[in-house]
Amino acid sequence: MGDPMACRILLLLLATWLAVLSACDTVPYTERKQVIVIPQNQERAMGARAAREILRTVRLADDPKLVAAVSRVGRRIAAASDAPDMDWEFHVIDDDRVANAFCLPGGKIFVYSGILRVARDEDELAAVMAHEVAHALARHGAERATLELGAQLGGALVALALGDEDPRLAEIASRIWGYGTNLGLVLPYGRKQEYEADAIGLRLMDKAGCDMEGAARFWENMRRADAPKPLSAFLSTHPTDEKRLERIRRDIREIRATRQKAREAAPLRP
Ligand SMILES: [Zn+2]
């Protein structure tokens, strides 16, 4: 019965629909629903591969104080994220002219030494690390790759495109995470993902016992007219504006209010 071609297309659509349904995830802390068709182990493998590629091509900072600070603050935030299956790594790329940071899937975080000209104390540095850890937790890279896949292939083909050997996936991954030859290829996240990483990052800072005001100070430093030149790199992937700062300040107030309420509701200790 029926046209076998139409039948095949129908089956394909059904398979895709099932794949999309089963891939519906919830972002930790914000509870936003997201669709990711890239399995977590594959996402991690791509992140690890990209990290190796980057480590092969960049010069790492050798200032032990700087490296220790980034690693210490990064681990503190990562511990608060309570994601034991993540394989966190924190690297400092030696380039004072670049004030930027980025995160590869699975928790490989890279910070350029130039960021320390903007993040001037440990709470401000914690804001950067928490923002990047949040991108990994919320699987923003894989979410973006899913969108790209969808856009490129059309819904019905997404499910078929996930073979390990698929060159299109590798191509998309290399564009998104920039592990080709040019590090500048790391694409900016969408504004929604940026705001979400800010919001999750603040909660991680609070859980880790950092001063959340560090985030507001960091973004103010970024905006300051007399800020050093290398800022442009971070700004190109992390747009900052009054709205972003407003949201950060509002989130800080909300997190504090929630904490205060929980404290009041808890029975007094004898
Ligand atoms: Zn970001």
Write the pLDDT tens digit of every residue in 155-191: 445 445 555 555 666 666 666 655 443 444 455 667 7
Residue 225, pLDDT above cutoff 50: no
Specify the higher pLDDT residue, 36 or 197: 197
**Cα(210)–Cα(142) distance, rounded to whole angstroms?**
28
Phi/psi of residue 109, nearest 5 degrees: -110, 130
Residue 233, pLDDT above cutoff 60: no
Cα–ligand 1 centroid distance for 158 (angstroms): 26
Cα–ligand 1 centroid distance for 135 (angstroms): 7
Handedness of CA 166, 190, 254, 256 (dihedral sign): positive
Cα–ligand 1 centroid distance for 133 (angstroms): 9
Cα–ligand 1 centroid distance for 238 (angstroms): 6
Note the pLDDT of residue 221.
87
Residue 109, pLDDT above cutoff 90: yes
**Cα(103)–Cα(139) distance, rounded to whole angstroms?**
10
Cα–ligand 1 centroid distance for 151 (angstroms): 22
Residue 199, pLDDT above cutoff 80: yes
Specify the higher pLDDT residue, 180 or 31: 31
Residue 75, pLDDT above cutoff 70: yes
pTM (predicted TM-score): 0.80
Note the pLDDT of residue 119.
92
Where does the pLDDT of residue 125 fall: very low under 50, low under 70, confident under 90, or very high at 90 and above?
Answer: very high
Compute the average pLDDT of residues 136-160: 69
Pick from 113, 138, 121, 73: nearest CA to 234: 113
Compute the average pLDDT of residues 86-100: 90
DSSP string over the chain: ---HHHHHHHHHHHHHHHHHHHTEEE-TTT--EEE--S-HHHHHHHHHHHHHHHHHHSPBP--HHHHHHHHHHHHHHHHHHT-TTS--EEEEE--TT---EEEETTTEEEEEGGGGGT--SHHHHHHHHHHHHHHHHTTHHHHHHHHHHHHHH-HHHHGGGG-TT-HHHHHHHHHHH--SS-GGG-PPPPHHHHHHHHHHHHHHHHHTT--THHHHHHHHHHH-TT--TTHHHHHHHS---HHHHHHHHHHHHHHHHHHHHHHHHSPPP-
Where does the pLDDT of residue 10 fall: very low under 50, low under 70, confident under 90, or very high at 90 and above?
Answer: low
Note the pLDDT of residue 92.
96
Note the pLDDT of residue 242.
76
Note the pLDDT of residue 3.
65
- Among the listed residues 43, 132, 143, 194, the single catalytic one is 132
Q: Does 89 qualify as catalytic in the annotation? A: no
Cα–ligand 1 centroid distance for 148 (angstroms): 18
Contacts of 184 (CB under 8 A, 6+ apart): 178
Cα–ligand 1 centroid distance for 213 (angstroms): 18
